[in-house]
Copies of this chain bind each other. A is one copy, B any other.
Amino acid sequence: MAKTKAEIDKNYEERHKEERKEKYLVWGTSVSRKFAEEVNAFLKENGYTKVRLIEAGYKLLKEEAAGNKKDKAE
């Protein structure tokens, strides 16, 4: 009997589970529920992903850190 799409997908998932675990991990931390809900509502409203927010935060902090180093050097 031919496999259903669901069976094929499940098989694929199982075969690639280890590979996926090697390549991805959950980046996150405990934050106040109120803040998390505010952020998630904003992301949803504007069509941003959580990954996009992490990338944006990383970018801004890198700029800030670079600025701090420059200040100290002056």
Contacts and interface: CB of A to CB of B under 8 A. Distances in A.
Identical chains bound together, number: 2
A32 to B, nearest CB: 6
Main secondary structure of the interface of A (DSSP, over half): helix
Nearest to A45: B65
Given A22-B33, A46-B65, A60-B59, A54 B39 contact: yes
Interface residues of A, number: 36
B31 A24 contact: yes
Given A25-B30, A30-B26, A54-B53, A61 B48 contact: yes
Given A27-B31, A27-B36, 18 more contacts: A22-B33, A23-B33, A24-B30, A24-B33, A25-B30, A26-B28, A26-B30, A26-B31, A28-B28, A29-B49, A31-B51, A31-B54, A48-B65, A53-B54, A54-B54, A55-B57, A56-B64, A60-B60
